[in-house]
Structure 1
């Protein structure tokens, strides 16, 4: 019984009640003192542990294996610039320095790519390891290293591993990072030596998160349980080529030469109609078995639990990159901007670094600076002394799901039974017994459905479907994916780092197998360019938009698009190139279907419009103009909807008060904007009302319901009871749209059809049914008003978008699953952000899961090809992975404000910016 029961009954507490109150207060005082003592002990433990693991950044260290001295110069933000006399020394030093700052992060990454998370974190990770072992990233990387990579790349990988291991030598876990000390409380895990394959495997994890349209493939198939073909088509409208321009606008495919050729785009090529479209997949095929729905629904859940590498498990990933040539810039030389949109993580997925040969020669070939991955040698995005490059995800469809027909111990293929390729994988578990699994593969790829017991059962139950090709033992789902074949992407990284001109750059791009990225280019000779690289399949039947029948060879891949056939652009007449995940090339000028699921071009067209507006009438673009464009918060869906919303006649004075916020609003989603908060809440409720009750429940977005603070919280949360599940109102039998720019296009298509069936919403306990657009908009305006009243308070003068739209930086292991005190020590935030979904400042949020930020511009850079020392850059967090290091999140506040740091490149500029120098001696 609660202690205040007597008092709450309306009677005065008696003598015994007063004694109980005193005892309760005494207990509370003792408890507070105990907590204070515990915090003090914890602080002492954390400070002593953390300081022991901080890197040495001054003086000298002797490293066995170096052939000569190496200088490591760090600026005031701890960003290192390395100077060496040989390639091997350069990359050995890179491995050493990255391990100093980020080894725990590197160790977790390699355990993920190898499917060995259970060895670090115990039995809770066994299911993830089973799935990751089924994909076999580490096995493919090992084969890649042995059979595909060049001798020089292997040499660099070996040197890098040597540097990492030199750092590890003689160190216990607590000497490396706070996280190892925490892990030591629950298991006896000790870090093992680094290998070259550990570095290569990271590219597979990156490719997984950037894999293209596999989620859409599943979603479309699941929609068939509740929606007809036309309704599904409504939800996947065609790309608006007439409104949002593709990346490549000059040139087309020449059927005679079999190459993509640049021209003014007015040629007479016959690309249109050459692609195969004879089959579109199982769910449009009369032979689709009933088991497919259950198999895909189960796979949906399995995929959702797989840990992310750099993205949000394939959902909503985007990026911006653009380049402007010298005729339109103040300097007279190109400017190149890039900001990849990835999951927020702490530390950031990027690590800024410079790799400089003291004298560039055959012996030492590199003078490159930019963004690297801790755990992998070389620079991924950046510039050397001659060129600069950026990347965005192309969205090319490089994955296909196949429904396999199982018979006995094999699978059917063209009316014959083939045997599976099998292997046994042993999973070691910290603090528990090991477990073995059998991975089965068909000619298409591994059986993903084997990793879920329920999927296996469903597959066996699906044998009585009379529409199946014939009866048998069941069904399973396999994956065909370009990254499961060994490739040369690691070679491409080094080739790009060395490239001196456009020809070198295209040769490097030809080696970039996976993931398929849009590559933008600029050089000091005032050239700009774009190249689509990647191993992109040519399909027989089907277009990759839906799962295909694995038993029919007509749905096989027929090789890959050749490098000479891939779209590119070089010094286009318009003077700039924009890539922001829009369509690569007009479908009528290209024979191969690259994907059915482009981004819809909202960001790319906004960037193009900003550039065109700036250069209109001879205007010139500056470095700061590029930065300001990166921060553009304009909401394109607001421009479309607000004029309609303001015409709605609202009687309720409180709702009308909120509606007035939209009057005169310039559609800019700044963090302090009340109008942006109200509009986005209204948009979310429009989606919920119009589509949520009509989509199948299997499409509910798991994993986007984030543990976050209440919107009016002012400090860090270290108690699970203080957190809220920001999942929104959700019908148990339906799902909500995520609100990305595909949904912008969906709504645009039906906006003027006021009686369209999509505008209907059922009656609820509080609201009557609605049947028209304006009735639904009125209800959405009302629901948004009361939703924000609950979240932000009744006084609209206190509302702001940033109070809803918050960024939480979490350590990706113990910061999400560890004890509360560790989460408090390791995590940072919240940060109130502007921007939004499909804005150029793409602080993405998922309307199915609330307003919290789920992906961000993970870094921002602007490269000035006239004077590289005038280039600018910023990272989401900082150089260090050590909690309480001064460089753990020292760039975050500047990132939030949209500021950029100076990016020194030449030795003179680096020396001027140097705060600490470490000498590595042989």
Structure 2
């Protein structure tokens, strides 16, 4: 045991001895193979390996001495290893939280803090230098330090320090192998040792959250790239306006009052007067730069979800007037990247008695490395999050020279800083970071973008075409803020006013916050630091050399942001749809909302229950979370069934759609075929019409036609043969923006978008139905190649699989190590833009790339009747019983009981550990 701990319970010793450090690459590889074999439990060393691995497992019973505590803290874990902490002071509570999270997840915490600080190379070597360089340029850690030093409250800093002290108490006296098996593997290739945790390590994680939820930066780049080949009308076709009449926004009405100057849910809205001004002319001709920036962004770790559009979350709350309990029910399921362990960590933080010294009684989901609870409830209120999607980033094209950047006709010097990137097993690298008044030059981090200036914008864009151009990023998260204060304020909030006060400080990332309380009230608040632009609407990069552009000094005032409290309809739904009708609101939040497919489906399900005279139960909320209905299938299938198909094999597949109810269950052959048809419609209609900068190396979709003959593999599946059109296309991702694009084109049978070129034996298409027929044929042969000739064996789940991967060694390590650390696959139902949003990207295939990362249903009538589930489990230790012990239930749509009250927690407790001063 480490020097600072004593255990009253017994511990298991390790059999065998330590393997000495070997010198030389070959010797290290041999040791890796041996250790991995041992870890896998292979051969004579099985007992030794299991004992070694278990040495890093947390102690969960007995007692441990924890320096710095003022009193005892009880850590009660249920049968899933979920901890509930009981203390007598805030400091003890957060110190214990740091200790317990480090017990379960320190490897994950350590990797995260190195990522946010741009220090991954210190752990993983030279392959991470480019990522570190970009993250250093953004300066997440630098801004987090400024927040801690100058902005956050003294109370928040005390909590952060107590948390850090708890983490460091766990680390004291422990070697890497005592912390996690990953350190044992890492130690074979470098001499990395974990450093102490600091409060700023926790604060910086909020910057990673903000980055992945930053809004429309990729759309801004893509739209600009489209100008090289498409006209304004064509680009508008691909970015249609939000369908307010079809999909309701979050807030039904309201406006900024002319009397108070604040948002009033009951005020009568008028036309906002907001235009759709873009600055397209400023960036035409710089496609090389923007394309390279897009490639650079793709290399940055997407911790919360994949890059690109489509990702989102669901939350909704129903008033007690319409529930079986007579009090509100609140549901939430954020859609994030599937990772192992899950991004979320479940726990409860309880003061034995609420006093001025100990103010917390809360439970829910947090992140490893973050004190407090992010989503959940306390003794008085419950809350949930979804991404608001506000446009909080803008790209600025800068006119640069060696002396600086041009601004209003004068050259201003860059703000410059140098940083050193340390590299495990290699030579350190120094980088120079340049900033303008619009933010850091992100283009400096691309080898292609270092050559900017070889092309220039169109006429009148800049005074001197001969010099270079660079791209700067302006982003609200690069300014110090108070979001960490908001976490603790939410945890202590008791009513809607205190909830809104906490929300005011939740500046980045901008989130939709829903609310319910034990008195029966429900509510919504749109928070966030949202910029006010001088010109433009944020849909295109802007010219940085003119003061006519940029942002006003102050963001949208919090009092002018939309909210609702006890709306008459009796429920509130947020699922990344528009917050409020932009024609009736005087601030521009974004032009790039989610298109409301999921939100409207949830609203329809609630309305159907209410209008049918029924009451909504916890089980109903849970069932809604698993709704698999495909809106695009409901639109397209009736038209697909009208097409006369002559090919017998394709007709056989078409018949799968007869009588299909558009639900995407894992065993559904119809769902498999339809989604393949949808993917091929997108490919044929849009794939070869977009600029080359947006094209990707397409997956082979074509196989021999006619009689289904052709080469087969050992399983009897047809071997695919690429046609020339597959290798050079820009495949849309298939998100609900594309639902709206196609819906808007459906009535125009002869739109140019339905024309596709001939390829091999495929004839060109001239109208919608011809393209649909070809897509049906292509889909038949694609699935023949993937699933076999016999359509009775097809199922959506065989295509649509989830594999959980350890986000470091599970993706980049040796194959054997990946097999040890990773789990799956699982066959899933659901799909893109369904409520059960098991997302897939049509550009890459059908693999699940984002998921409901957790699900919860909170019962405001009785907290102990609430339910929750995590994607994986409480533990980050690969062989722990709690590594993925919730996953099978998650796959099946089950929820676990969620104990909160003292008696309920006591009944569900299986292990109790006492942390002592």
TM-score, reference length from structure 2 = 0.92
**Aligned-partner Cα distance in 1 for 2:48–2:486:** 44
Post-superposition offset of 1:276? 5.8
Using the alignment, how far apart are the partners of 1:140 and 1:49 within structure 2?
Answer: 40
> For the structure 1 residues 42 and 188, does the alpha-carbon distance in structure 2 shift closer, same or farther, using more than 3 Å as the test?
farther
CA gap 1:632/1:891 in 2 versus in 1, 3 angstroms: same
| Map of 2:296 onto structure 1 | 302
1:123-134 aligned within 5 A? 123-134=126-137
1:484 equivalenced with 2:482 (yes/no): no
Residue of 562, 568, 577 corresponding to 1:567: 562
Per the alignment, in what secondary structure is the counterpart of residue 836 of structure 1? coil
Aligned residue in 2 for 1:170: 173
Give the corresponding residue for 1:712.
none
- 1:597 and 2:600 are equivalent in the alignment: no
Q: Which is worse superposed, 764-773 or 386-395?
A: 764-773
Tell me the residue number matched to 2:381.
Answer: 387
Counterpart Cα distance in 1 of 2:780 and 2:666: 18
SS of structure 2 residue aligned to 1:853 = coil
Identify the residue that residue 412 of structure 2 maps to in structure 1: 418
> Are 1:280 and 2:278 matched, yes or no?
yes
- 1:240-297 Cα offsets, whole Å, 9 max, x none, are 000100000132222443211011x6x2x44521x365x412x2x2x5452x211100
Distance 1:431 1:367 in 2: 47
1:764 equivalent in alignment to 2:767? no
State how far apart, in whole Å, the 2-side matches of 1:46 and 1:455 are: 49
Q: 1:47 to 1:597 in 2, by over 3 A?
A: same
Query: Is the 1:704–1:846 Cα contact (8 Å) retained in structure 2?
Result: no
Shift of 1:511: 0.5
Partners in 2 of 1:704 and 1:623 — Cα distance? 43
Superposition pairs for residues 9-20 of structure 1, below 5 Å?
none
1:437 and 2:435 matched: no
Mapped partners of 1:727, 1:885: distance in 2: 44
- What is the aligned partner in structure 2 of residue 452 from structure 1? 446
In 2, Cα distance between equivalents of 1:693 and 1:223:
12
Task: Output the CA distance in 1 between the equivalents of 2:837 and 2:402.
Answer: 50
CA–CA distance in structure 2, aligned partners of residues 548 and 557 of structure 1: 11
Instruction: Please name the residue that 1:65 is paired with.
Output: 68
1:864 to 859, 864, 884: 859
Aligned mates of 1:240, 1:757 — CA distance in 2:
23
2:641 maps to which residue? 646
Task: Judge conservation of contact 2:216–2:592 (CA < 8 Å) in 1.
Answer: yes
Question: Does residue 214 of structure 1 match 2:245?
Answer: no
1:599-614 correspondence to structure 2 within 5 Å: 599-614=594-609
**Does the 8 A contact of 2:93 with 2:349 survive in 1?**
yes
Which segment drifts farther, 694-703 or 731-740? 694-703
After superposition, the C-alpha distances for 1:477-497 in whole angstroms (9 at most, x for unaligned) are 000000000000000000000
Contact 2:116 2:207 in 1 (8 A): yes
Change (3 A) 1:730 1:98: farther
User: Within 2, Cα distance between the matches of 1:201 and 1:254?
Assistant: 37
The match for 2:230 among 212, 227, 231 is 227
Q: Assess if the C-alpha contact under 8 Å between 1:49 and 1:177 holds in 2.
A: no
CA pair 728-916 structure 1, distance change in 2 beyond 3 A = farther
Q: Aligned runs of 1:303-702 on 2, under 5 Å?
A: 303-313=297-307, 315-457=309-451, 459-462=452-455, 468-471=461-464, 472-558=466-552, 559-700=554-695
Cα deviation code 1:586-638 (max 9, x no counterpart): 11221011100000000000000000001114310000000000000000000
Residues 1:820 and 2:815 aligned together: yes
Shift of 1:48: 3.0
- Which is worse superposed, 252-261 or 729-738? 729-738
Q: CA deviation at 1:464?
A: 9.3
Shift of the alpha carbon at 1:43? 4.8
Go from structure 1 to structure 2 and tell me whether the alpha carbon gap of 1:218 and 1:639 turns closer, same or farther (over 3 Å shift).
same
Q: Does 1:788 align with 2:783?
A: yes
**Cα distance in structure 1, aligned partners of 2:783 and 2:698:** 23
Shift of 1:317: 2.1
For residues 476 and 151 of structure 1, the distance between their equivalents in structure 2, rounded to whole angstroms, comes to: 40
Q: 1:130-209 residue pairs with structure 2 within 5 A?
A: 130-209=133-212
**85 and 844 in structure 1: CA distance in 2 versus 1, 3 angstrom threshold:** same
Cα 1:190–1:537 shift into 2, 3 Å: same
Quote the offset at 1:408 in angstroms.
Answer: 2.9
Q: 8 Å contact 1:328–1:618 — kept in the other structure?
A: no
Partner Cα distance (1:748, 1:696) in 2: 23
> Which residue of 1 is the match for residue 13 of structure 2?
none
Residue from 776, 796, 805 that aligns with 2:800:
805
SS at match of 2:532: strand
Asked if the contact 1:726–1:850 (Cα under 8 Å) also holds between the matched residues in 2, the reply is: no
Aligned to 1:709: none
Match of 2:83 in 1: 80
C-alpha deviation, 1:465, in angstroms = 6.9
Task: Please identify, of 548-557 and 907-916, the stretch whose mean Cα deviation from structure 2 is larger.
Answer: 548-557
CA contact (8 A) 1:225 1:696 kept: yes
Distance 1:726 1:839, change over 3 A: farther
Per the alignment, in what secondary structure is the counterpart of residue 555 of structure 1?
A: coil
Task: Quote the Cα distance in structure 1 between the aligned partners of 2:48 and 2:388.
Answer: 47
Q: CA 1:761 to 1:377, structure 2 compared with 1: closer, same or farther past 3 Å?
A: same
Q: Does residue 840 in structure 1 map to residue 835 in structure 2? A: yes
Q: Do 1:341 and 1:858's aligned partners in 2 also have CA atoms closer than 8 Å?
A: yes
Whether 2:777 is the aligned partner of 1:777: answer no
- CA–CA distance in structure 1, aligned partners of residues 915 and 37 of structure 2: 44
Unpaired segments of 5 or more residues in structure 1? 1-30, 706-723
- Once residues 854 and 904 of structure 1 are traced to their aligned partners in structure 2, the CA distance between those partners, rounded to angstroms, is 31
Give the superposition deviation at 1:730: 6.4
8 Å contact 2:207–2:477 — kept in the other structure? yes
Displacement of 1:766 in angstroms is: 2.0
Q: 1:38 to 1:890 in 2, by over 3 A?
A: closer
Q: Is the 8 A contact 2:697 2:727 kept in 1?
A: no
Give the superposition deviation at 1:41: 6.0
Measured on the aligned residues, the alpha-carbon RMSD in Å equals 2.1
Cα distance, 1:302 vs structure 2: 0.3
SS in 1 for 2:463: coil
Say whether the 8 Å CA contact 2:666–2:828 is kept in structure 1. yes
1:72·1:920 contact (CA, 8 Å) conserved in 2?
yes
CA contact (8 A) 2:723 2:760 kept: no
SS at match of 1:361: coil
* Structure 2 alignment gaps of length 5 or more: 1-32, 701-718
Query: Equivalent of 2:116, from 113, 118, 121?
Result: 113
CA distance in 2, matches of 1:478, 1:408: 16
CA apart distance, 1:38: 9.6
Please give the per-residue CA displacement for 1:26-64, whole angstroms capped at 9, x wherever unaligned.
xxxxx9xx9999942675564233211000000000011
Q: Cα gap change, 1:464/1:316 in structure 2, threshold over 3 Å: closer, same or farther?
A: closer
SS at match of 1:553: coil
**Is 1:100–2:129 an aligned residue pair?**
no
CA contact (8 A) 1:328 1:615 kept: yes
Mapped partners of 2:236, 2:762: distance in 1: 30
Rounded Cα–Cα distance in structure 1 between residues aligned with 2:662 and 2:159? 50
CA distance in structure 2 between the partners assigned to 1:70 and 1:544 by the alignment? 50
Tell me the SS of whatever aligns to 1:539.
coil
Structure 2 Cα separation of the partners of residues 604 and 833 of structure 1 = 21
Pick one of 254, 257, 279 that aligns with 2:257: 254
Q: How far apart, in 2, do the equivalents of 1:508 and 1:466 lie?
A: 48
Which SS does the other structure have where 1:816 is aligned? Answer: helix
- Within the candidate set 22, 34, 52, 1:49 is matched to 52
Does the C-alpha gap of structure 1 residues 726 and 453 become closer, same or farther in structure 2, counting only changes over 3 Å?
A: farther
Classify the secondary structure of the residue corresponding to 2:519.
Answer: coil
Over 3 Å counting, the alpha-carbon distance change for 1:464 and 1:830 in structure 2 is closer
